[in-house]
A and B are shown apart, each in its own frame.
Chain A
């Protein structure tokens, strides 16, 4: 169980590792595709790594709804219950 700040920090680490962006650029309102320039394969990689890190399941059909970093943080927080 992690609070949303911890989830954001953990997700930012994954995104930074995958893209080379600075973790500080991974902010809640940023869009994965439009702002962070993440393609669909990288997004799937990030999802797979996030599932492992946060011990949650993010179904493939949900991934398309995760437009912003905040959407992903909310989904992970909810999935963790």
Chain B
């Protein structure tokens, strides 16, 4: 059963929809800026910048509907509406329509705001929608309500691999015959002082406060950690048969998924990247492809000193000398790291790259790591070759979750 992509949606630090986000990426624009509040001063935070959304969901959704959702679900709904409209708002049997939309962290704004309210005003002031808003399955639940999706609604959680895992699960729902269409993706709204401070406490975040737009610099020798971002990406996956029967436009194909786990450490990747490479190998195997079919990789590459090169060595090991002909992009250099939204937004980028045959640039790399043996697309986009192409999108999460998705041209 071939799975195709018939719709895309996004809201990101680069734009409120796919076209503005993609234009921003091709222009090599950074969506990272100094926080528009006084948290850093108030709480003594070491990091005072992030990839904040370009367009608030509150500008798009009605006030009563926004009030019922955590920001993570609001963003997912914005991206879902775009993706569904982009797919032509298909007529589909609700029992053959699935939703798989993940978040890595869940409704952290709702949880912490409710705790603030309780401390200030007492237990009686805790609002009844607190639980439905904070639960990490809330975004996928709202997507299933929005579209009346009844084949199943899931939200696999695997930290920064969550969004990719959701798309992988959507792929499997269609491949196994559970659904004809699955709306799949990821979302994250964790730009709140507590998660920022907690990531900073792990020494995971860049502290380049004086140059926010230059802070996310994957593979650069001066990289010093990731930049937190927020937003959502959603794709409409569909069996090729169903898409063709309704005359839908096919933007790309989802050819395979590979998922492995390190079983090594709660936060650090396994130093040899064995599990990461194996995920990529499995994804190609499942797609019936080999390394030479790959033209483009959208790397996980978060701009951490250790993680970037583990993945880079793994990609080199997978592709061998063919790596010299593979356009490597690290789009977190522009968006920051959307955690559970990352794999989904980067799937949107990967699909757009195949559709338009253009690999987006990686910005801020002024001095590439001398150990990088890959062909990094720097500063300006690069044209991809003609013919049938495949592209890999990697996502790895704290806890040792490794997910590789392989997309192909339509």
Determine the distance from Cα of A48 to Cα of B64 in the docked complex, in whole angstroms: 16
Chain B residue nearest to A21 in the complex (CB): B64
With a CB–CB cut-off of 8 A, which chain B residues contact A45?
127-129
- Chain B's interface size range is 10 to 19
With a CB–CB cut-off of 8 A, which chain B residues contact A41?
128-129, 132
Which residue in A17, A51, A57 is a CB contact (below 8 Å) of B67?
A: A17
Query: B64 to A17, Cβ gap below 8 A?
Result: yes
With a CB–CB cut-off of 8 A, which chain B residues contact A17?
63-64, 67
Determine the distance from Cα of A18 to Cα of B129 in the docked complex, in whole angstroms: 11
A52 within 8 A of B: yes
With a CB–CB cut-off of 8 A, which chain B residues contact A52?
121, 125
With a CB–CB cut-off of 8 A, which chain A residues contact B125?
48, 51-52
CB distance from B48 to the nearest CB of A (A): 33
With a CB–CB cut-off of 8 A, which chain B residues contact A79?
none
Interface on chain A toward B: helix, strand, loop, or mixed SS?
A: helix
With a CB–CB cut-off of 8 A, which chain B residues contact A51?
124-125
A19 within 8 A of B: yes
Determine the distance from Cα of A50 to Cα of B330 in the docked complex, in whole angstroms: 50
Query: B129 to A20, Cβ gap below 8 A?
Result: no
Determine the distance from Cα of A19 to Cα of B66 in the docked complex, in whole angstroms: 11
Residues 39-73 of A contacting B (Cβ, < 8 Å): 41, 44-45, 48-49, 51-52, 57
With a CB–CB cut-off of 8 A, which chain B residues contact A57?
124
With a CB–CB cut-off of 8 A, which chain A residues contact B124?
48, 51, 57
Residues 3-20 of B contacting A (Cβ, < 8 Å): none
Query: B64 to A19, Cβ gap below 8 A?
Result: yes
With a CB–CB cut-off of 8 A, which chain B residues contact A48?
124-128
B interface residue numbers (CB < 8 A to A): 62-65, 67, 121, 124-129, 132
16 further A-B contacts with Cβ under 8 Å, apart from A17-B63, A52-B121, are A17-B64, A17-B67, A18-B64, A18-B67, A19-B64, A20-B62, A20-B63, A20-B65, A45-B127, A45-B128, A48-B125, A48-B127, A48-B128, A49-B127, A52-B125, A57-B124
- Can you give 7 A-B contacts (C-beta < 8 A)? A20-B65, A41-B129, A48-B124, A48-B127, A51-B124, A51-B125, A52-B125
